[in-house]
Copies of this chain bind each other. A is one copy, B any other.
């Protein structure tokens, strides 16, 4: 069943180089012979061994994408963006899922490397030292996506989380809210949640409002985490008048919890999320949120990775893509009912 060029050559009564030439269209071949080869190729459904080809040509047209998970909508759109521009330039993209596990990240990074991938796009919430060192040591074109990695030297594409969060919270303040809680994601100084928290903090300070620790809840980034955090907040005293959430998923969980406990949204509590996932417009009330284009994130990453692969000069090392406030039904002026 498994054939080689040699087999094809024998069947078509030509040399292996001739077969290689017609497969790759690399040189003109006598049209009659060419046809003979083509026929065998068709009849046998032969496919050249890319492994062998890669070995001699010493380059692939493969882009590896390393993701923690795909449950998150954002990744899906991002991959779509990557796919789109990669295909434009003739690159194939393959994806590996790390599950957020550090060992797995290293494992798959090395797998891409061993597969001789031309470039790698990594989306991690916070990059760990070991991976970081590996990327630098390996020297394969690589772009980080997601968080603001401006403190690092590896190129990255991201949303300006701090500014976006600052603007979101400032909007809430302008709407008259003074007691604004934040449901941030995981703690630690490496995560998206931390950057969005920074923006929250700056906005409050700019408005001379106190940052009260008891109004800042730490958790994961999931719907369930939103429920948990909100439950804590709910049982710890009077409700804030607005809640800023590090992700839409957190916001959705939190809103569900409140609704089930008879709290009216947005009349009693306003909500603002981040990411603008599909669900944001599906739930009721529709979620006000910070929108950005995840597919643009992917496209910018892919485009620059390809430049890197081709050895072209990069215009910058870190790119941020734009964001907008998308005000919908989960937030209103303070005091409105």
Contact = CB atoms under 8 A, between A and B. Distances in A.
Interface of A: 1-2, 45, 47-52, 54-55, 69-71, 73, 75-77, 79-80, 83, 92-97, 99, 107-108, 110-111, 113-116, 134, 137-139, 223, 252-253, 256, 259, 278-279, 282-284
A95 B96 CA distance: 6
A271 to B, nearest CB: 14
A109 to B, nearest CB: 10
Nearest to A278: B223
Contacts of A283: 282-283
B108 A92 contact: yes
A284 B284 contact: yes
Nearest to A133: B45
A73 B76 contact: no
B256 A48 contact: no
Contact of A50 (B99, B111, B139): B111
B50 A115 contact: yes
A51 to B, nearest CB: 5
Contacts of A92: 96, 107-108, 111
A244 to B, nearest CB: 20
Nearest to A43: B137
A298 B259 CA distance: 35
B45 A137 contact: yes
Contacts of A259: 284
A62 B52 CA distance: 16
B51 A55 contact: yes
A135 to B, nearest CB: 10
Contact of A138 (B47, B48, B99): B47
**7 nearest interchain CB pairs?**
A50-B114, A45-B137, A1-B139, A95-B95, A70-B70, A71-B76, A94-B94
A129 to B, nearest CB: 14
Nearest to A92: B111
A140 to B, nearest CB: 9
Nearest to A75: B70
B47 A114 contact: yes
A256 B111 CA distance: 45
Residue with the highest number of chain B CB atoms closer than 10 Å, among A71, A76, A93, A94: A94
Contacts of A134: 45
A143 to B, nearest CB: 18
23 contacts: A1-B139, A2-B139, A45-B138, A49-B114, A50-B111, A51-B51, A51-B116, A52-B55, A69-B76, A70-B70, A70-B75, A70-B76, A71-B76, A71-B278, A80-B97, A83-B99, A94-B95, A95-B95, A115-B115, A252-B282, A256-B282, A283-B283, A284-B284
